[in-house]
Homo-oligomer: A and B are copies of this chain.
Amino acid sequence: MSHHSNANTSSKKPESELIADWAHLLKVFLRPEDSESHGTLVKYMEQILFGLHDFLRKHVGITEAKSLKELSERFTDTIIKENPEKKLADVITCVIDEIAPQAVNVASPYFVGHMTSAIPFFMVHLKTIVAALNQNVVKLETSKVVSIIEKQVIAKIHRMIYENSESFYQTHVQNTETTLGAFVEGGTSANLTAFWVARNARFAPKEGFDGVEIDGMAAAYKAYGVDRSVILASRLGHYSLRKAAGILGIGNKNIIPIDTDANNKLDVHALRQKIHEIESGPEKTCILAVVGIAGATETGTIDPLEEMAEICREHGIHFHVDAAWGGPTLFSNSYGHLLNGIKRADSVTIDGHKQFYMPMSCGMVYFKNPVIMDVIAYYAHYVNRRGSVDLGIKSLSGSREANSLILDSALKIMGTKGYELLIDHGIETAAAFAEEISQRENFQLITSPELNILTYRLCPPEFHQRIESRDPQTLQAANEELNSLNRNLQRLQREAGWSFVSRTTLKINQNDPNCIVVLRAVIMNPISTIKILKDILDEQEEIYRHQLAHKFSSPD
**A421 touching B381 in the complex, CB below 8 Å, given contacts A48-B132, A125-B45, A135-B104:** no
* Interchain residue pairs with CB less than 8 A apart (17): A22-B421, A29-B118, A29-B121, A30-B53, A63-B141, A79-B159, A104-B142, A114-B142, A131-B360, A136-B360, A185-B400, A219-B228, A243-B378, A247-B396, A248-B249, A382-B502, A382-B504
Q: Say yes or no: is A311 at the interface (Cβ < 8 Å to chain B).
A: no
**This protein's copies in its complex:** 2
Kindly report which residue of chain B lies nearest to residue A389, judged by CB atoms.
Answer: B68
Whether the Cβ atoms of B219 and A251 lie closer than 8 Å is: yes
Min CB distance A94 to B, Å, is 8
Complexed CA–CA distance, A141 and B18 (Å): 36
Which of A95-103, A437-445, A461-469 lies at the binding interface? A95-103
Q: Per-position contact with B for A49-76: 1 when CB-CB < 8 Å, else 0?
A: 1111101100011010100100111111
Complexed CA–CA distance, A42 and B395 (Å): 36
Question: Inside 8 A of A120's CB, which chain B residues have their CB?
Answer: 28-30
Whether the Cβ atoms of A122 and B28 lie closer than 8 Å is: yes
CB proximity to B under 8 Å, residues A120-136: 120-129, 131-136
Question: Inside 8 A of A259's CB, which chain B residues have their CB?
Answer: none
Kindly report which residue of chain B lies nearest to residue A53, judged by CB atoms.
Answer: B30
Q: Per-position contact with B for A208-240: 1 when CB-CB < 8 Å, else 0?
A: 001011111111010000011100000000111
Given A114-B141, A216-B217, 9 extra CB contacts under 8 A: A68-B140, A71-B148, A78-B173, A84-B415, A213-B251, A213-B252, A214-B253, A218-B249, A242-B378
Question: Inside 8 A of A228's CB, which chain B residues have their CB?
Answer: 216, 218-219
Kindly report which residue of chain B lies nearest to residue A69, judged by CB atoms.
Answer: B174
**A218 touching B221 in the complex, CB below 8 Å, given contacts A114-B142, A159-B78, A401-B359:** yes
Whether the Cβ atoms of B152 and A77 lie closer than 8 Å is: yes
Complexed CA–CA distance, A129 and B96 (Å): 9
- The residue among A21, A213, A506 with the most chain B CB atoms within 10 A of its own CB is A213
Complexed CA–CA distance, A420 and B144 (Å): 32
Which of A404-412, A535-543, A546-554 lies at the binding interface? A404-412
Whether the Cβ atoms of A414 and B28 lie closer than 8 Å is: yes
Q: Say yes or no: is A402 at the interface (Cβ < 8 Å to chain B).
A: yes
Whether the Cβ atoms of B42 and A50 lie closer than 8 Å is: yes
Whether the Cβ atoms of B399 and A361 lie closer than 8 Å is: yes
Question: Inside 8 A of A530's CB, which chain B residues have their CB?
Answer: none
Question: Inside 8 A of A123's CB, which chain B residues have their CB?
Answer: 131
Min CB distance A427 to B, Å, is 15
Whether the Cβ atoms of A83 and B415 lie closer than 8 Å is: yes
Q: Per-position contact with B for A81-118: 1 when CB-CB < 8 Å, else 0?
A: 11111111001100110011011101100000111101
